[in-house]
Amino acid sequence: MALETMNVVCIGSGYVGSVTGTAFALLGQNTTIIDIDTSKVEMINSGKSPIYEPGLEALIQYAVEQKVLKAETSYKSVEDADVIFIGVGTPSKEDGTADLQYVKAAARDIGTALRNHKGFPVIINKSTVSIGTAEVVATIIEEASGLQAAKDFAVVSNPEFLREGYAVEDVFFPDRIVVGFNSDKANEIMQQLYARMLSRERYEEGLLRVLPELRPYMEKEKPVYFTTDTKSSEMLKYASNAFLAVKISYINEIAMLSERLGANALEVAKGMGLDSRIGNKFLEISSGWSGSCFPKDTAELLATSQKYNREIKLVNAAMEANDAMHNYVIEKIKTVLKSLNGKTVGILGLTFKPNTDDARKTQAEVIIRNLIDLGVNVRVHDPQGVPMFQKYNPKLVEGSSNAIVYCEQAEDVAERADAILLLTHWQEYLQIDWQKMSQMVRMGSASNAVHDGAYILDTRNFLDKQKLVELGFFYQGLGY
């Protein structure tokens, strides 16, 4: 049965809001993204993406041209919306818990706009929110609108599982759609909303017309529409993210021990991943996990568990192991260079992973601060992340700290460097001129170095070791 078009509103045009809003527009829903930031509203209406996310800008441009997507600062479109997503930020507070001020402000504004609503609007918590927030949002909306929850409107939990850098793939081809509700009427509306995503109706004429390279994903199994109550849905999001963080910390600890014992943790991870109970994803060794989600979500889950005197010790251990992994990278450089004070380290990669401009709370920030504190001069490069890295690390902007130099060209990080450190595995780092870099570094760099050749530490085991060794580098990966 062809379902009639719905009016979809999305509050927030960040990583969650702009991706969610655009996705439903591409499914033919009449979609409005609301943001208080007029520059973001103007970007979207001119077919531009407010965030760097592969494929997203092309989709926004198409949706705006097809007149199924627009952006506004006013909440007017809420008055006749069928569903309203809350996709605003939920940053960490000092105590680790999620700051819900923006969610609560959006709820108040939605409530005010719902006073004249004629239907049964469903408000959808898409942002990652503390367990119990659906009820908090419902109360705020009741107070602001004079309406009654369950009778006049419903609030549901519908957590996103998008990975930055892969958000377009993840939003259109998710493994599962999780919906937490306490009202069956709300679920009927959610099933209608997601029907086209579950059936992949309109993918040909929409998504695949704009991004034909995503066609292979059509082979992927269709998502499961998983329903539960609101609190379980909210918990499911934190439990999933924290588990992924635990899994990564686990393989990183195996990597540190393997180096000590002469085992190869890359082989261990590969062999582990062949067990379907373990799976091969999120077992990639790294300098540790970071970004705008894992640190926030693990901190919130841990703080909540401690608040209710049921501490989730595994999450605490994973966070500690993660900090240790960041430090382990510095230990390795110190071991090879013998001393760090006055040395120069060239760093490739500031973002928390490739294919994103997100350089908030990254492992690079922790490692660079520690290196500078140890007297190291750093020369850094990132294809996309420098503006955001500088915005969130004002003290690490050139001039305010003469210990850091931002390089336009990746190769320039090697200028008189005693060591090169790869933190983010951007594809383009495979193509940079390593020959040229091998002439720029200080070969046999530190006088008391334990090895000949300039040292390169590849924390993602990503570069062509053979080629670098032939160029005279002393190459080390992680975990073997």
Residue 148 Cβ vs ligand UDX, minimum distance, rounded to whole Å? 33
Q: Which is nearer to ligand UDX, 114 or 283 (CB)?
A: 283
216 burial class (0-12, 13-18, 19+ CB within 10 angstroms)?
exposed
Among 42-50, 279-287, 333-341, 389-397, the segment contacting ligand UDX (CB under 6 A): 279-287
Number of residues this chain uses to bind ligand UDX (CB under 6 A) = 19
Residue 284 touches ligand UDX, criterion: CB under 6 A: yes
CA count, 13 A, side-chain hemisphere, 66 = 22
Catalytic choice (11, 43, 103, 293): 293
Q: Which residues contact 470 (CB under 8 A, 6 or more apart)?
A: none
Among 6-14, 81-89, 281-289, 332-340, the segment contacting ligand UDX (CB under 6 A): 281-289
Residue with tokens 């705020």: 140
Q: Report how far apart, in Å, the C-alpha atoms of 326 and of each of 303, 370, 448 are.
A: 22, 10, 24
Q: In the window 65-124, what residues touch ligand UDX (CB under 6 A)?
A: none
Distance CA 64, CA 418 (A): 50
Distance CA 296, CA 347 (A): 25
Q: Which is nearer to ligand UDX, 34 or 293 (CB)?
A: 293
Q: Which is nearer to ligand UDX, 182 or 290 (CB)?
A: 290
Residue 244 touches ligand UDX, criterion: CB under 6 A: yes
Among 20-28, 74-82, 222-230, 278-286, the segment contacting ligand UDX (CB under 6 A): 278-286
Cβ atoms of 335 and 267 closer than 8 Å? no
Phi and psi of 363, rounded to 5°?
A: -65, -30
Residue 96 Cβ vs ligand UDX, minimum distance, rounded to whole Å? 16
Q: Render 140-183 in DSSP notation, one character per residue.
A: HHHHHH---BTTTBEEEE----PPTTSHHHHHHS-SEEEEE-S-
Q: Which of 168, 283, 380, 413 binds ligand UDX (CB under 6 A)?
A: 283
Q: Which of 171, 211, 248, 321 binds ligand UDX (CB under 6 A)?
A: 248
Q: Which is nearer to ligand UDX, 273 or 444 (CB)?
A: 273
Residues 190-229: x where in contact with ligand UDX by CB under 6 A, - otherwise, as a string:
----------------------------------------
Q: In the window 351-370, what residues touch ligand UDX (CB under 6 A)?
A: 352-353
Per DSSP, which regions of 318-476 are E strands? 344-348, 377-381, 404-406, 419-422, 455-458, 474-476
Is the alpha carbon torsion for 254, 314, 232, 304 positive or negative? negative
Residue 99 Cβ vs ligand UDX, minimum distance, rounded to whole Å? 17
- Taking alpha carbons only, the member of 380, 19, 272 closest to residue 166 is 19
Q: Which is nearer to ligand UDX, 208 or 366 (CB)?
A: 366
Which pairs with CB-CB distance under 8 Å and at least 24 residues apart come from 314-321?
314/246, 315/242, 315/245, 315/246, 317/246, 317/249, 318/242, 318/245, 318/246, 318/248, 318/249, 318/250, 319/245, 319/249, 321/249, 321/250, 321/252, 321/253
Residue 244 Cβ vs ligand UDX, minimum distance, rounded to whole Å? 6
Residue 339 Cβ vs ligand UDX, minimum distance, rounded to whole Å? 29
Residue 293 among the catalytic residues = yes
Q: In the window 126-165, what residues touch ligand UDX (CB under 6 A)?
A: 160-164
Residue 267 Cβ vs ligand UDX, minimum distance, rounded to whole Å? 16
Q: Which is nearer to ligand UDX, 120 or 243 (CB)?
A: 243
Cβ atoms of 442 and 461 closer than 8 Å? no
Among 27-35, 197-205, 282-290, 369-377, the segment contacting ligand UDX (CB under 6 A): 282-290
Residue 14 touches ligand UDX, criterion: CB under 6 A: no
Residue 338 Cβ vs ligand UDX, minimum distance, rounded to whole Å? 28
- Written as one letter, the residue type at 59 is L
Residue 403 Cβ vs ligand UDX, minimum distance, rounded to whole Å? 24
Cβ atoms of 73 and 35 closer than 8 Å? yes
Residues 289-308: x where in contact with ligand UDX by CB under 6 A, - otherwise, as a string:
xxx-xx--------------
Q: Which of 20, 30, 187, 241 binds ligand UDX (CB under 6 A)?
A: 241
Angle between helices 294-307 and 313-337 (to 10 degrees): 140
Distance CA 141, CA 225 (A): 27
- Taking alpha carbons only, the member of 144, 325, 337 closest to residue 248 is 325
Q: Which is nearer to ligand UDX, 289 or 429 (CB)?
A: 289
Distance CA 374, CA 380 (A): 17
Q: Which is nearer to ligand UDX, 142 or 164 (CB)?
A: 164
Residue 132 Cβ vs ligand UDX, minimum distance, rounded to whole Å? 20
Residues 174-193: x where in contact with ligand UDX by CB under 6 A, - otherwise, as a string:
--------------------
Q: Which is nearer to ligand UDX, 351 or 438 (CB)?
A: 351
Distance CA 418, CA 358 (A): 28
- Taking alpha carbons only, the member of 389, 277, 368, 292 closest to residue 326 is 368
Applying CB under 6 A, which residues contact ligand UDX? 160-164, 241, 244, 248, 282-284, 286, 289-291, 293-294, 352-353
| Catalytic site positions | 293
